Amino acid sequence: MAAVTSSTLSKLAPLEAILFDIDGTLCDSDPIHFCAFRELLQQVGFNNGVPISEEFYSANISGGHNDDLARVLFPDLDHDKAMKFMDDKEALYRKLAPEQLVAVEGLHDLCRWIEDHKLKRAAVTNAPRSNAELMLSLLGLTEFFPVLVIGSECDRAKPFPDPYLKALELIGASPDHTFIFEDSASGIRAGVAANVPVVGLTTRNPEKVLQDAGASLLIKDFQDPKLLSILEEIKPTVAAVEQV
């Protein structure tokens, strides 16, 4: 895995852009989503009122798009009513997030490195726009990302490549000199389908799941020595940075 990884990412030199998922990538938000889902699903009698487990959440919910999740969780319910549940869950998430949301270790150091090297960037998420904007605000990254792509505002959300392809187009970046940070199998599949290498964060999801989805490299957080080594190898030259 390591040899393939180095080879895959080394080909990106000189690095031009980095695309970021938000939930579970910029911040460890899954515990908040899990709590919101568990509470509301129990209220509506899902699974005969037995609270969902973290394993169920990871396997069936994490990284999913709300429209798809509504069908998976409530296959026999009117879709509009199922989507009302999803809206209520997002509202509860937004209520909980301000007191619980924390950045993944090393995020702000990485953002400064990206700014210093004048790399292009975008945030790409399946989260509703209101959630995404709240998370970026809480993390102090609203101004850092000139582009925010929302899956539901594309023709198809992740795991389809459309959101990442749209981001590349909007920031004017080549997939040959770009990579993606993702934490879910759904997001990794979207990046792979867009022909962009994906670095998977093992924030919450099992390593094997991320590997099987096609991640080129797995890291614990943004301080991982493996990531820092790769960035040093593929960073733009000083001259190239000054010309941007």
Catalytic member of 23, 30, 162, 183: 23
**What topology is assigned to 9-26+104-233 in CATH?**
Rossmann fold (3.40.50)
pTM of the predicted structure, to 2 decimals: 0.89
Q: How far is it, in rounded angstroms, from Cα 194 to Cα 160?
A: 8
Whether 21 sits among the annotated catalytic residues: the reply is yes
Could you tell me the pLDDT band of residue 3, with boundaries at 50, 70 and 90? very low
Reported as a single tens digit per residue, the pLDDT across 133-185 is 999 999 999 999 999 999 999 999 999 999 999 999 999 999 999 999 999 99
Average the pLDDT over each of 4-8, 37-41, 108-112, 173-177 and give the range with the smallest value.
4-8
Reported as a single tens digit per residue, the pLDDT across 16-65 is 999 999 999 999 998 999 999 999 999 999 999 999 999 999 889 988 88
Whether 23 sits among the annotated catalytic residues: the reply is yes
Domain ranges of the chain: 9-26+104-233, 29-99
Could you tell me if 79 and 18 are in contact, meaning their C-beta atoms sit under 8 angstroms apart?
no
Q: Which of 31, 23, 128, 124 is closest to 70 using CA atoms?
A: 128
Could you tell me if 57 and 39 are in contact, meaning their C-beta atoms sit under 8 angstroms apart?
no
Which of 2-11, 82-91, 231-240 is most confident?
82-91
Which ranges of the chain would DSSP assign to H, the alpha helix?
Answer: 2-10, 30-43, 54-60, 66-73, 79-100, 107-116, 129-138, 162-171, 185-193, 207-213, 225-234, 238-243
